Amino acid sequence: PGEPFELTLDFALEATHCDGCSAQIVVGLDNEPSGCLYSGKPGPAPGLEASGSVTLVAPTAPGYYEVTLEARLSDTCASATDGTLANPVVVASIEVAEPPLVNPSRVFSLSNSTHGPQVVLSVTSDLVTMEALANDVDQRWYFVEQMDGWYHIKNAGHSDDHCLEAVGFAQPLVLSPDEGDYHLWRLVEDGGWMRLQNKGMGEALSLDTLEFGSDTFPYLGATNDSDAQRWALTDVGPLW
């Protein structure tokens, strides 16, 4: 979204009955002019055969957009791009994808609304716990997309062939070799927070936290509106 891209096309253009006239090939997205593939005096038939390039900027809104062009007679490219294209020809289309919910090249600390940013998801041996925030690699997590919207959640302090696994309802989470649906997680936006759900356990359960005496453990609990199921991902730096 919002990124520039270059369009290059071969074209043929003539200014019939107008030897000295200026002509343009105007390019647009969904008929809104964005620039000129060509602006000059092509001359009458046989005119000009050439190749041209123009830099366009993708829209910010996700969706499919047609790349269209139209030949116009005008003094300059600036004047030729005034107004929507009346008789456009579709030459290509682009897809502006939804931005990812999480940047795969960054690592994050994970905290929930109940305990605040000073208590984060951590790993002791292969057992996943909630611990006081520290400058500790075992508290840094990264996301590797496996299929559309489903991720392996891996820990920067542990082997990259291990990832977060849901063992079962109300059971502690562990790090284990990454295989099967119980290692796949999705992020669901929830009013500025993220809800984490597991493919193997289904959307009826969400990542939650539970206190045992002075210890706090993450587990999968029945999906509800509690603050303990609202998670924040705080960017703490680049992956590796």
Q: Strand pairing partners for 70?
A: 26
Q: Residue 182 carries which DSSP code?
A: G
Give the pLDDT confidence of 75-123 residue by residue, as tens digits.
999 999 999 999 999 999 999 988 888 999 999 999 999 999 999 999 9
Residue 41: C-alpha distances to residues 24, 51, 73 (Å) = 9, 15, 10
CA angle 161, 128, 135 (to 5 degrees): 90
pLDDT exceeds 90 at position 211: no
Q: Which residue has the tokens 């996301």?
A: 143
pTM for the full predicted model: 0.67
First to last CA, the chain: 26
Strand spans (E) along 97-158: 106-112, 119-124, 127-132, 141-147, 150-155
pLDDT reading at 38 higher than 90 = yes
Residue 221 in contact with residue 173, Cβ under 8 Å? no
pLDDT at 52 over 90: yes
With a cut of 80, say whether residue 10 has pLDDT above it.
yes
List the beta bridge partners of residue 32. 29
